[in-house]
C-alpha cells in the first residue's frame, strides 16, 4: 500500500475511485423507492422550476440545492429508480478522490490511500449514494469545504479563500447541517489569518447562512421534522457511531463481526493519543470533526431535536479521513494498513450482503404493487404512511379515499423489518377478520419486506374510510386509504 501510494498515486486514486463507483452504481435500480425518494419524484420535482422551489419551501426540510440539480438531471435521464439515483451515486463517487486528497493533505500519501479506501466502501455513505435525496451532495460538498478550508488556512490567498467560500455556500444550499462543518473550519481559518480575503470570504458565507434562515424557519413551522423527537436523544446519539460504521442496516451485522470491525477504530484512537507528531498533523482536521459532532449534539440537548444519523453524514467522510490518517501512521508499521484492510473488507462484505439480500433492503413497495395484480372491480388499499407515496409511484391510478365508495376488493399492506442479529424482528401482522361484511380472505403474501392481505367480495360493497383505517396492519401511525378503479 505504501509503495502504491508514493510511487503511483494516480493509479491508487483511479483504483479507489473505481471501487467507490462500483459499490455505488451496482444494483442501483434493484430497490424500490422509499417514502422520501417517492416524495421527491411525485411531489417536489414535477412542473416548472418556480413551482418546484415553492414546493421545496412548502413541503421539504432542506434548501433547494439538490432539487435543482435533480430536476436538471431527470430532465435528461428520466426519474426512474436507477436514473435519478445515479446523480447521488456520481456525487458519492466523487467523494472518494476528495477524501483521498484530504488524507494526503493532513498526513501524507499513505493516509490518502487509506482514507480513500474507507470512504469508498463505507456502508452509510453507499446507502445514501443510492438514495434520491440530498445526503450524498451534502457529504461531498461538506468534505470538499473542509479540504479547501485547510488549504486556505495554510496559504490564505484570495483565490483559495474564494473557492472555499463558493463551495461552502453550495454546501449550505444542499443542507442546513453543512453549517456545523463550515463554522468550525471558518473559525480555524480566521484564527490563522485575518486577511481581508479571509474576512470577506467568511463574512460572505455567514451572510448566505443568515439569508437562508427565513426559509429554514418556514420549513420548520408545520412540524415536518417532528419525527426526530419521537426517537429519544440518548438513542439518536448512540446510533451515530454505530450507523457511521455499519450504515442503516447495522442490525444485520453479527455482534462478533461488529467487535472485529471496532478494533481498527480503537487502534486509531490509541494511535492519536500516543503518536504526538501524527496527532499534531491531524489536529486541525480533528478539531473540525470534533466540533461538527459536538455542535449539533449541544443544539439537540437544548431541546431543538436536530441530531439524526443521516444529517450527520456531513461529517462522516472527514471523520473517516481522521481514522485513515491514524491507521496510516508509520509507528503502527504494517498493522495500521492491515487494520484498515480488515475494516474495508468487512464493510465491503456488508455492502454485498445488502445488495444480494432483499430482507436487508428498502421495503419492496414496487414488488408489493406488482403483487396486487389485476383487479376485478374497484379496490381499496390500506397502507401505512411510509408506503403511501411509493404506492402512488407504482400504482399511478390510485386516489385517496376521502368518502364512501363501492369496492369489491380490500387490500391491507404493511412493510416489515427483519432485524436478524440485533433485537427482534418487527411483529409479523396477523390476518385480521374481513374489515367489511360480505368479504372473505383471498390472498396473503409474506415477502421479505412486506405483508399483503387481500379480501374480496362477490359484488361491490359501499366502504367508508373509517372501518378501513381501523383494519390497518403494520407499524403504528395514521395509515392512508386509496381507491383504485
- Residue 28 CA to residue 96 CA, distance in Å, equals 18
pLDDT-derived band at 426, boundaries 50, 70, 90: low
pLDDT of 425 strictly over 60: no
In what side-by-side order are the strands of the sheet with 379-383? 399-400, 480-484, 379-383, 405-415, 450-463, 440-446
- Residue 300 CA to residue 229 CA, distance in Å, equals 10
Residue whose C-alpha is closest to residue 426's, from 450, 454, 408: 450
The two most distant CA atoms of the chain are separated, in Å, by 81
pLDDT-derived band at 7, boundaries 50, 70, 90: low
pLDDT of 387 strictly over 60: yes
How much is the average pLDDT of 217-243? 86
Buried b / exposed e along 428-455 (16+ C-beta atoms within 10 A): ebeeeebbbeebeeeeeeebebbbbbbb
Determine the 3-state secondary structure of 482 from DSSP. strand
How much is the average pLDDT of 106-111? 93
pLDDT-derived band at 405, boundaries 50, 70, 90: very high
Please, where are the H alpha helices in 155-224?
A: 158-174, 178-192, 196-220
C-alpha cell at 105: 493533505
CA atoms within 13 A on the CB side of 444: 11
pLDDT of 6 strictly over 70: no
How much is the average pLDDT of 403-430? 76
pLDDT for the residue numbered 132: 98
How much is the average pLDDT of 33-46? 95
Chain centre distance of CA 351: 15
pLDDT for the residue numbered 392: 93
pLDDT for the residue numbered 30: 92
pLDDT of 17 strictly over 50: yes
Q: What is the mean pLDDT of the chain?
A: 90
pLDDT of 419 strictly over 80: no
Of the ranges 7-21, 252-266, 348-362, the best mean pLDDT one: 7-21
Determine the 3-state secondary structure of 176 from DSSP. coil
How much is the average pLDDT of 270-295? 84
Point out the least confidently predicted range of 103-107, 344-348, 371-375, 413-417. Answer: 413-417
pLDDT for the residue numbered 3: 63
Higher pLDDT, 168 or 330: 168
Lookup result for grid cell 484570495 = 158
- Residue 304 CA to residue 299 CA, distance in Å, equals 6
**Pairs from 8-12 (Cβ < 8 Å, separation ≥ 24):** 9/104, 9/109, 9/112, 12/100, 12/112, 12/113, 12/116
pLDDT for the residue numbered 216: 94
Kindly give the pairing relationship between strand 405-415 and strand 379-383: parallel
Higher pLDDT, 99 or 245: 99
Contact 105, 150 (CB under 8 A): yes
All residues at 6 or more sequence positions from 382 whose CB lies less than 8 Å from its CB, including other chains: 410, 411, 412, 413, 468, 469, 471, 472, 473, 479, 480, 481, 482
Residue whose C-alpha is closest to residue 141's, from 166, 158, 118: 166
pLDDT of 380 strictly over 70: yes
Residue whose C-alpha is closest to residue 414's, from 429, 425, 424: 429
pLDDT for the residue numbered 438: 94
pLDDT of 1 strictly over 70: no
Segments of 45-91 assigned E as strands: none
pLDDT for the residue numbered 421: 44
C-alpha cell at 383: 397502507
Read off the pLDDT of residues 314-352 as tens digits, 9 standing for 90 and up.
Answer: 999 999 999 999 888 887 788 888 889 999 999 999 899
Backbone angles phi, psi at 94, to 5 degrees: -65, -20
pLDDT for the residue numbered 422: 44
Q: Which residues pair with 410 in a beta bridge?
A: 380, 455
How much is the average pLDDT of 376-396? 92
Residue spans of the domains in the chain: they are: 2-360, 365-484
Point out the least confidently predicted range of 54-68, 77-91, 258-272. Answer: 258-272
Q: Which residues pair with 382 in a beta bridge?
A: 412, 481
Determine the 3-state secondary structure of 299 from DSSP. helix
- Residue 177 CA to residue 143 CA, distance in Å, equals 12
pLDDT of 420 strictly over 60: no
Read off the pLDDT of residues 193-214 as tens digits, 9 standing for 90 and up.
Answer: 899 999 999 999 999 999 999 9
Determine the 3-state secondary structure of 400 from DSSP. strand
Contact 257, 425 (CB under 8 A): no
Q: Give the CA distances from residue 30 to residues 123, 244, 358, 369, 450, in Å, rounded to whole numbers and listed in that order.
A: 17, 24, 9, 15, 16
Read off the pLDDT of residues 122-137 as tens digits, 9 standing for 90 and up.
Answer: 999 999 999 999 999 9
Read off the pLDDT of residues 433-442 as tens digits, 9 standing for 90 and up.
Answer: 999 999 999 9
pLDDT for the residue numbered 274: 63
- Residue 476 CA to residue 412 CA, distance in Å, equals 14
pLDDT-derived band at 223, boundaries 50, 70, 90: confident
pLDDT for the residue numbered 122: 97
Buried b / exposed e along 258-276 (16+ C-beta atoms within 10 A): beebeebbebbeebbeebe
- Residue 420 CA to residue 251 CA, distance in Å, equals 7
pLDDT of 162 strictly over 70: yes
pLDDT for the residue numbered 264: 78
Lookup result for grid cell 463550515 = 182
How much is the average pLDDT of 418-430? 59
Please state, for a pLDDT cut of 90, what percent of the chain lies above it: 67
- Residue 328 CA to residue 105 CA, distance in Å, equals 13
pLDDT for the residue numbered 21: 98
How much is the average pLDDT of 226-251? 85
* Burial of 76 from C-beta contacts in 10 A (0-12 / 13-18 / 19+): exposed
pLDDT-derived band at 166, boundaries 50, 70, 90: very high
Read off the pLDDT of residues 443-485 as tens digits, 9 standing for 90 and up.
Answer: 999 888 889 999 999 999 999 999 998 888 877 777 899 999 9
Amino acid at each position: 500500500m505504501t509503495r502504491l501510494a508514493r510511487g503511483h498515486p494516480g493509479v491508487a486514486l483511479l483504483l479507489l475511485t473505481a471501487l467507490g463507483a462500483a459499490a455505488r452504481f451496482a444494483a442501483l435500480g434493484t430497490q424500490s423507492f422509499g417514502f422520501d425518494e417517492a416524495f421527491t419524484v411525485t411531489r417536489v420535482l414535477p412542473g416548472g422550476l418556480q413551482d418546484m422551489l415553492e414546493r421545496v419551501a412548502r413541503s421539504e426540510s432542506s434548501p433547494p440545492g439538490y432539487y435543482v440539480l435533480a430536476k436538471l438531471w431527470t430532465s435528461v435521464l428520466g426519474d426512474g429508480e436507477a436514473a435519478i439515483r445515479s446523480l447521488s451515486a456520481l456525487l458519492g463517487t466523487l467523494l472518494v478522490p476528495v477524501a483521498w486528497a484530504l488524507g494526503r493533505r493532513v498526513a501524507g500519501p499513505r493516509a490518502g490511500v487509506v482514507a480513500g479506501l474507507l470512504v469508498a466502501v463505507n456502508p452509510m455513505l453507499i446507502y445514501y449514494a443510492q438514495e434520491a435525496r440530498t445526503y450524498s451532495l451534502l457529504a461531498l460538498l461538506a468534505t470538499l469545504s473542509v479540504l479547501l478550508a485547510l488549504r486556505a488556512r495554510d496559504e490564505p490567498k484570495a483565490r483559495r479563500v474564494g473557492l472555499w467560500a463558493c463551495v461552502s455556500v453550495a454546501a449550505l444550499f444542499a443542507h442546513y447541517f453543512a453549517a456545523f462543518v463550515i463554522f468550525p473550519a471558518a473559525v480555524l481559518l480566521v484564527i490563522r489569518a485575518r486577511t481581508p480575503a479571509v474576512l470577506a470570504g467568511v463574512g460572505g458565507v455567514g451572510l448566505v447562512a443568515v439569508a437562508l434562515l427565513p426559509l429554514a424557519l418556514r420549513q420548520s413551522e408545520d412540524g415536518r421534522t417532528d419525527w426526530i423527537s419521537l426517537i429519544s436523544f440518548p438513542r439518536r446519539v448512540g446510533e451515530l457511531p454505530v450507523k457511521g460504521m455499519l450504515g442503516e442496516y447495522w442490525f444485520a451485522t453479527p455482534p462478533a463481526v461488529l467487535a472485529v470491525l471496532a478494533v481498527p477504530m480503537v487502534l486509531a484512537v490509541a494511535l492519536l493519543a500516543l503518536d504526538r507528531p501524527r496527532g499534531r498533523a491531524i489536529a486541525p482536521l480533528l478539531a473540525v470533526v470534533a466540533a461538527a459532532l459536538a455542535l449539533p449534539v449541544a443544539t439537540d440537548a437544548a431541546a431543538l431535536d436536530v441530531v439524526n444519523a443521516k444529517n450527520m453524514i456531513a461529517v462522516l467522510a472527514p471523520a473517516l479521513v481522521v481514522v485513515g490518517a491514524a491507521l496510516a501512521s508509520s509507528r503502527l508499521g504494517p498493522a495500521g494498513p492491515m487494520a484498515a484492510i480488515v475494516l474495508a473488507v468487512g464493510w465491503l462484505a456488508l455492502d454485498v450482503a445488502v445488495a444480494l439480500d432483499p430482507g436487508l433492503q428498502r421495503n419492496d413497495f414496487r414488488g408489493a404493487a406488482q403483487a396486487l395484480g389485476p383487479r376485478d372491480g374497484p379496490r381499496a388499499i390500506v397502507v401505512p404512511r411510509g408506503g403511501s407515496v411509493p404506492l402512488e409511484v407504482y400504482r399511478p391510478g390510485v386516489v385517496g379515499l376521502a368518502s364512501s365508495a363501492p369496492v369489491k376488493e380490500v387490500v391491507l399492506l404493511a412493510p416489515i423489518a427483519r432485524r436478524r442479529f440485533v433485537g427482534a424482528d418487527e411483529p409479523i401482522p396477523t390476518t385480521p377478520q374481513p374489515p367489511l361484511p360480505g368479504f372473505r380472505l383471498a390472498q396473503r403474501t409474506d415477502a421479505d419486506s412486506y405483508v399483503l392481505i387481500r379480501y374480496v367480495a362477490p359484488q361491490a360493497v359501499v366502504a367508508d374510510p373509517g372501518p378501513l383505517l381501523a383494519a390497518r396492519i403494520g407499524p403504528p401511525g395514521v395509515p392512508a386509504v386509496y381507491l383504485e378503479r
